[in-house]
Amino acid sequence: MPATVVGRAPGRVNLAGEHTDYSGLPVLPIAIDRSLLVAAAPNESGLVEVHSEAFEGTARLSRTTPDEGVAAQWHGYLAGALAELTAVAPGSGARVLVTGDLPAGGGLSSSSALTVGVIAALAAAWSVDLPPEEVARLATTAERHVGVETGGMDQQVIALARAGHALRIDFLPPAVRNVPIPAGLSFVVAFSGQEAPKGGAARDAYNERVVGTRAAAVLLAHQMGFEIEADPPLLAHVADVDVVDVLAEELPEKAAARDAARTAGIDVARLTALTNAEFDPALKISIRRVARHVLSEAARVDAAEAALAAGNLKAFGAILNESHASLRDDLRCSTQALDKVCAAMRKAGALGARLTGAGFGGYAVAAVPAGNEDAVIAAAIGATGGPAFTVVPSDGLRLL
């Protein structure tokens, strides 16, 4: 039996491409120098026990019926991870300890670091060789287990990132490439003071955006005279058409998924199907604005990557600001505290600032000329109380 295995899974900060991944459109995140350490020691108990310093309440989950032992929200991620591991890793039991310096529940993707770290460490403890791409794929489905129809950005960057680089991730077709961070560019992240837990209202608000983009996709395809055959239908399936931006402006402001499906002549379940959550097909949801955000944000990913490649820090900062405005006004996932902390960081010398991650609370990120970090951190703490700190683009998952 192998000895204890230790995995290090970092948090992530997204630089560009927010709320685009679940539309199959690109993202540009970094892994950061804050991480969870997951130590796993295998045994034959048939039970996976997980104790965490970052999350409260030890989990005791049966290897065969993990859902029955879920007693806290974070246990749901573990149950999802165990369910995904069933098919690939036949190990019996394990004792797992999670520590680290990645703040939990705040939007730096502690949940994905947990699922990625636990899947990688358990697989290794059970003597199964899982490539990081496969860890990311399993962790994405594991995370949907808690009812958030996440797009897969967090798990991929956490599994695959390289120090000193952002990771450009494309989903359709899948591809990743490392984008060097130019000299002179630093990143500061700042907590808004509001947690962004992936449960309750935030989960429903997130899933509403997911279904809204699917509805926009089928309505746009219908206007263009074709039907998207893939499931779920994604804005990526129509995003390449030249006139898509113009047509998107003709979408209904709001509509129920059931009415969008009727107009497009498709079964509504193709819009509302979520891995582990219900969605009300009669609920009126935002369509035009979410499409406008996602299509413009995808273009900003290309622009942000080009600005980094050219070392044009000013242009890069401006893209962050535009992204924040679009997330605030069109996708509508900002909060007053996030707006406030971004404004404070810009005023203190940041080149640009935006919310990062799903929003509805959590963290903002600022692009800062190297040397100006302290002033930006002080301004952020003055605005919302912090914490605020620099983050360094770091390596993804490592088995130590």
Residue ranges binding ligand GLA (CB under 6 A): 14, 18-19, 21-22, 150-154, 357-358
CA dihedral over 173, 178, 183, 185, signed as positive or negative: positive
Q: Least separation, in Å, of the C-beta of 343 and ligand GLA?
A: 21
Catalytic annotation, pick one of 154, 259, 330, 339:
154
| The Cα angle at residue 209 between residues 225 and 248, in degrees rounded to 5 | 35
Please, which residue, 205 or 241, has the CB nearer to ligand GLA? 205
| 154 is an active site residue | yes
Residue with tokens 């190297």: 370
Least CB distance to ligand GLA at residue 128 (A): 25
Give whole-number Cα distances, 302 to 28, 113, 297, 308, in Å.
Answer: 9, 26, 9, 10
SS3 breakdown of the chain: % helix, strand, coil, rounded to 5? 40, 25, 35
Q: How far apart are CA 381 and CA 383, in angstroms?
A: 5
Secondary structure element (H or E) that encloses residue 307, with its range: helix 288-310
Cβ atoms of 287 and 219 closer than 8 Å:
yes
Which lies closer to ligand GLA via its Cβ, residue 19 or residue 346? 19
Q: How far is the CB of 375 from ligand GLA (least distance, A)?
A: 28
Concatenate the DSSP letters of all residues of 118-131 into one string: HHHHHHHHTT----
Find the shortest distance in angstroms from Cβ 331 to ligand GLA: 9
**Residues with active-site annotation:** 154
